Structure formats: C-alpha cells, structure tokens
Structure 1
C-alpha cells in the first residue's frame, strides 16, 4: 500500500533520519499540498477545469467607456527595455520588460505583436491576448518568442487601467487582496561549482535577503551530466546541515533526470525534509512527471518553461504537479497566469510563480501573488535591479530582517520610472 502523506510526516518526525525535527509550519504547508487521490473521474476533473477556464479574469466592468489604444512603443535605454502604451483619451501605462529576452525578441514585439493592439479597445484585454497569437500566424512561435512581448504589453495596459481606477494591479484581476506582503525564498542559480562553493554563495545571498527559505540547482540542466560528478548527492544533506532544521529548503533540477534518477534524488530530498522538488525530469515529459510524482511524497513543482494552458490542464487533472510555477513573462502575463492558478486552486494545489531575473520581474510576481488565494508560503527572489532608476512610494521593494517584502499598493504597477530615463530612451521601430 502506498504510504500516505500523514504517515510520511509522522515517520519523518519519529524516525532515525538525519534531521530530528520537522521545520516550522511553513514546511508542513508545502508537504500538505494535495496530490494523490484527486476527486472524481478524469472526465469530471477536466469538466471542472474547463468551466474555470471560461471565467473572465480582467475586471472589465470597472471601465464603462472604450479605451482605444493609440500607440504601443518599445523603449530601450542602455540594457533596459520598457513598454509605453497610450490611449486616445490621454491615459498612459508603463511596463519594464525582461531585458535578457527582449534584447533578442524586440523585432517580434515591434513587427508582429504591437501593431495588432493599435486601435483596439484595451478593455477587451483577454480577447486581445488570444487574437494577437493569430495575427501574423504568431501561434507558430508560441513560447518565449511571443509570450514575453505579449506579457510586456499586458503589464503596460494593466498599469494604465490601474492608474485610471486608482487600483493596484492585483485588484484588476481579483476581487480582493489576499497578501499584502510576501516572504521570499532565496534562489541560487549556479551549477558547475562544488557543493562547498555553492554553500558559501548561499550564505552570502541569504545574508542580504534575510530569507527564511532557499532553493538551489541540482543535476546538469536538461541532461544527465552533472559537473562536478556527485555534486547533488553531496549538496542535499550539506545544505540542511549548514542551514539547520528551521530553514525551508527546496531544489530545482531543470529537467536533469530520467524517471529512475529523479525518484532516487527525490527520496534523498525526502530524507532531509525538503519542501519541494522542481522539474525533476524535462518539463515537457508530462507522463514522466506524473510517474515521479506518484512515486514520491515530496511535492513536485513545475511550469516555468510551460507555454500551454492546455498542458497545465493535463498536469493538474492528472496529478502531475502539486505546485504550479508559471512565469509572469514566459507564460504571457497575469491573465493567463491567473487561469493556471485558478485551475490549481480548484484541486487544492499551490501556485508559486516563477520570476524572470532581469527587469523588475519580482514586482509583477508580487502583484500577482496578492490576487490569488492559493499562493505558497514563500516566493522566489533572485536579484535587485540597480541599473533602472525608479521610485516606489509604498514599498522599499527590499526584504526586511524577516525576509519579507511589502507589495506596492500604489495605482497600477505602483512603481514610477524616472521621467528623465524615459525621455532619454530610444523608441525601437519596425
């Protein structure tokens, strides 16, 4: 008989594992994320999810008159890419894009995405997002190529609407604010260095962020080759030994393993009471992801690379994931991300969105987390943007001594970009 989650927790508490006591309550929140024994038949689960996907996300009813988009501009200043949307009646919204991706994708933004939005009613945001994938046959490039440009425009439109209604972004996609602040987990993205070096870097990063949770990389990223060999097996117990029982620890394999290896590594993580195991096998190995999930008690997380709502539907309905991690930029913005969060919530699963590490991605992530009831106890933190001049009147956008960041409460994005920086930017043309 398969070990129940309750029995697993009890065994972990009483057995002779290396860690004598379970970390604090947030750890249990991860471990209690439902996965096994989903209710109803598969057909009934799909029907439930399909009904959720038909529900509107953007609160169009807040805006009674048409808001016709007059211009969509992509600005570049140094390494920073920003989008400026203006309406015919003088409203304006600004977004900060993922600079790393936009430096490559800007021709698609300028030629294949932005022109579709001109002259359209911005209140039809959900329809615009869908139809922009048909324009110029953009659906043939689904993935980062179109979703980063589309999300960049969506964020600017939401900023514009937030300023018009004097509401933060979260209240444009939700009836209430669920989280006024978020606790961060410190992510370390390094591979190819020793376990000992990784530990030292994690110490330095946690000293800055004050995070009470951490995540690091396992394996060799979308391959079965790890450098140096055996790093993961050494690092998993070493991180726990270094940071103690109270640190919430998780790890990301970025699709490094086949099913058998993922299960072996997952069982080691279970022994040391890790919070979740991210992308144990390649992200598009859906059936294999479920096989790993079925074999382990540690929650399986994934979705950073996923471009398809339909594939998330499969993963949720079939119990492949306990934690969905759609990326604000990579998945195409808050509207699409909200649909995934709602599907996950329908079956008691958590949403811990992935964030991009350039621009101000963590601010969009925070706004999104305010709008969902099923957010995890900790959310990703990577780095501060010290190159972009901005001001936020309602938050320092820095974690406090408890590893907590207050979410901006100003209208729209809640962050003001230095006007001189915008005036000095170049408008990219087709």
Structure 2
C-alpha cells in the first residue's frame, strides 16, 4: 500500500467510525463545471485595446469606466465596498487590464487573480475589485457589438422575472407602521412577495427575538395567506436558535430563510437545514470561492445559492456558480438588493441562468423620483422586471455627469 492509498484509507476509516456513512471522494477531484466561454474574437475581428480604467466619483457614487483606444467606454456603478478597496484596485487589479485586449476578458480575469501572487489576497475584497472591472468591460464589449451582454454569453431563457420587495426594518419604529408600508409597496408595484429581516444582524438579543416573534405574525396577518414571504437572518442565530426560529417561520408559511447562522459556520447551517422541512435555506452572498460553492452545494448546506455579482468576481463567475450548484439540483438567485445601475449585471445573468429560482430582489421607495443622470428608469410593472435588450449592460449615462467628476483611481 503506497502512502497516498494509506492516507485515503485512514481518512475513510475515520469517517466511517464517526458517521457510519460510506466514504465518498470529493467531487472537487473533477474539474468544476464552467459556463461556456464566448468566442469574443469571432464577434469582434479587431483588437479592443483598453486604454484606461478609471474610478470616478459623481452623483455621490463611484463609477468605474473602462475606455478603449478608440474612446468607446464601458461603465458600471460600484457598490458601497469599493471606497475601502481602492488600493487593491489600483495596485493589484488594474495592471492586468490596462493595455490589454478586452476580447481576452476571461483570461484577464484569471490573470488578475493568479499572477503576481494576487491569489494571496483572495476573498471578497480582491474579487469585488476584479468583478467591477469585469462588469464594466462586458459593458464596453456590448456597446461595441451593439448587443446586450447576455447575447455575448449565450441564448437567453427569459426576458423578465418576478420580484419581491426588500424591507430592512430591525426596530426603531412601530411594527404596525412597517407592515402598512409593506402593503403599500406591494400595491404600488404589483408584486406579491417581500423579504423581511429577522434577528439583529450577526447577533440575536432578547429584544431582537421579541421583535421577530411580534413582526412575522403581523406581516402574515396584514398581507394575507397568498403573499410570499422570505426572511433574512444575516447570520444572527446560533444553530439552535436558527432551528427554533426556522420552525417559527415555517409555522407562518415563510418560504425562504436566508443566512440564519454565520456564513462561515457550514456545519451549523447544515444542521439548521436538516432540521427544517418546509422552508428553503438560502445563502452564499458572502462567498467568493468557486470551490466553496461546490462544497456547500454538494454537502447540502443550502437549497438556494445567492452569489453577489460584484463580491464573486463578475458576470462570468456568477454564471459559473449557476452551473456548479445546478449539477447538484440546487437553485440559484444572485444577491442584488438594488434599484439603480447596480442591478444591470444581474439582468444579464437572469436572462441566461436556467436554474434562477423564485422571486428576485428589488428595493422600492415610493418617494423616489426617476433619476436624471441615467436611463432607463428602473421600475417594476405588475410585479415583474423586464430585462432590457439594449447594448451592453442596458444603462445609459447622461454626458453631463462627467463634468467635474472626481478621479479616485
């Protein structure tokens, strides 16, 4: 018996002794499923050299702008994490894109992770920077080909999707007022689903628990039995509390329980999932490792996987997560709690992912006027969001916003 065989036998025997289960080799011994890579050089016969990548501040937001040698631009709004990540963006990521051919985008993303020991910084901060550049570069390529990004990545399977309305209440005002506001938002949008917060966000004080147990019945009573309710724990609960809260939510017909425990506690999350029979467990927003997504789905930690388009490194990697979890029959609903240009890359993924599940997130504030600095006005009609079929990510920016914009990187 050679050393490798001995070690495999030893590990397998130990596993049998602890669980009584038949040992099983990890599926990660096989290559991870991938999303079919587009042939961008067939779509665009000439090079698309990237002249610059700039991070600009305008409209009280950060926008990342990728400019080609001919002046064509691709743009994405950046999320709220980017202000704290600018040194990573400038020092580690941009050198792998500037001066390169945008048609090599999948390879450029790999280089930005792998080369110069960048992988030693792996995690949300690095992938958020890479993902922002990747998303803006897809917008550039879509603009140049005059196609939606999704048309460069595959054949769309949908042109619209159903939404739920997010609510972020965790105390501070009477719960009855919050429930009335939720009912008004559903009536205004035509949506039939909401997501509420339970617990206290990474903790669960007695006051947090009392609020949860008061709020959930009020929501169900006010919105009625037909309303679809999702609940987000944001890692508030211990496994024991997660099971207790999950069963409480099941008793009120809540359909999805998101991140009951700390996202790092795989065993705790799995124990919650195994103890609940009527509710789907969801998570993955905080994760940026494709191998972790494979393990989470293979071992049944969640039923529904929610990679963030930016945290996870962009559009192509998010589509790969769809393939990875789909091989185990798991569902997919990327994290995108926005109603501004940050929603645009999600449109591209939603058009393509065959295992997109349930209602998708949307933030609706009745008092908001249509934005003047970009178009189209991002609205829900009859509970549905239409996926634009316009070039790039589907967002157009007013030329006036660049005058006086502050360059951050």
TM exceeding 0.5: yes
Q: Separation in 1 of the partners of 2:125 and 2:191?
A: 33
Query: For 1:181-225, what per-residue CA distance to the aligned partner results, in whole angstroms no more than 9, with x for missing partners?
Result: 121100111213454343233234334433211101011111232
Q: Separation in 2 of the partners of 1:182 and 1:59?
A: 28
Q: Separation in 1 of the partners of 2:263 and 2:175?
A: 25
Secondary structure of 2:335's match? coil
Q: Separation in 1 of the partners of 2:185 and 2:126?
A: 33
Deviation at 1:256, TM superposition (A): 0.8
**Contact residue 67 and residue 74 of structure 2 kept, 8 A:** yes
Task: Name the counterpart of 1:121.
Answer: 101
Task: Name the counterpart of 1:184.
Answer: 163
Task: Name the counterpart of 2:318.
Answer: 337
Q: Which 5+ residue runs of structure 1 have no aligned equivalent? A: 1-39
Query: What pairs up with 1:315-334 in 2 under 5 angstroms?
Result: 315-334=296-315
Secondary structure of 1:126's match? helix
Q: Which 5+ residue runs of structure 2 have no aligned equivalent? A: 1-21
Seen in structure 2, the aligned counterparts of structure 1 residues 140 and 79 have a Cα distance that, compared at 3 Å, is farther
- Aligned alpha-carbon RMSD (Å): 2.4
1:168 to 148, 154, 161: 148
2:82 to 76, 99, 102: 102
Deviation at 1:377, TM superposition (A): 2.7
Q: Separation in 2 of the partners of 1:371 and 1:140?
A: 32
Query: What pairs up with 1:241-280 in 2 under 5 angstroms?
Result: 241-280=221-260
Q: TM-score, length-normalised on structure 1? A: 0.82
Query: What pairs up with 1:298-377 in 2 under 5 angstroms?
Result: 298-357=279-338, 359-377=340-358
Deviates more, 1:109-118 or 1:216-225: 109-118
Seen in structure 2, the aligned counterparts of structure 1 residues 44 and 354 have a Cα distance that, compared at 3 Å, is same
Query: What pairs up with 1:85-234 in 2 under 5 angstroms?
Result: 85-98=66-79, 100-134=80-114, 137-173=117-153, 175-193=154-172, 194-225=174-205, 227-234=207-214
Q: Separation in 2 of the partners of 1:78 and 1:142?
A: 31
Q: Separation in 1 of the partners of 2:78 and 2:340?
A: 6
Task: Name the counterpart of 2:25.
Answer: 43
Seen in structure 2, the aligned counterparts of structure 1 residues 227 and 57 have a Cα distance that, compared at 3 Å, is farther
Secondary structure of 1:370's match? helix
Q: Separation in 2 of the partners of 1:428 and 1:146?
A: 17
**Contact residue 337 and residue 361 of structure 2 kept, 8 A:** no
Q: Separation in 2 of the partners of 1:383 and 1:86?
A: 32
Deviation at 1:120, TM superposition (A): 1.7
Q: Separation in 1 of the partners of 2:78 and 2:264?
A: 26
Task: Name the counterpart of 2:56.
Answer: 75
Seen in structure 2, the aligned counterparts of structure 1 residues 110 and 45 have a Cα distance that, compared at 3 Å, is closer
Q: TM-score, length-normalised on structure 2? A: 0.86
Q: Separation in 2 of the partners of 1:110 and 1:44?
A: 37
Task: Name the counterpart of 1:28.
Answer: none
**Contact residue 124 and residue 287 of structure 2 kept, 8 A:** no
**Contact residue 397 and residue 407 of structure 1 kept, 8 A:** no
Deviation at 1:388, TM superposition (A): 6.0
2:398 to 395, 415, 418: 418
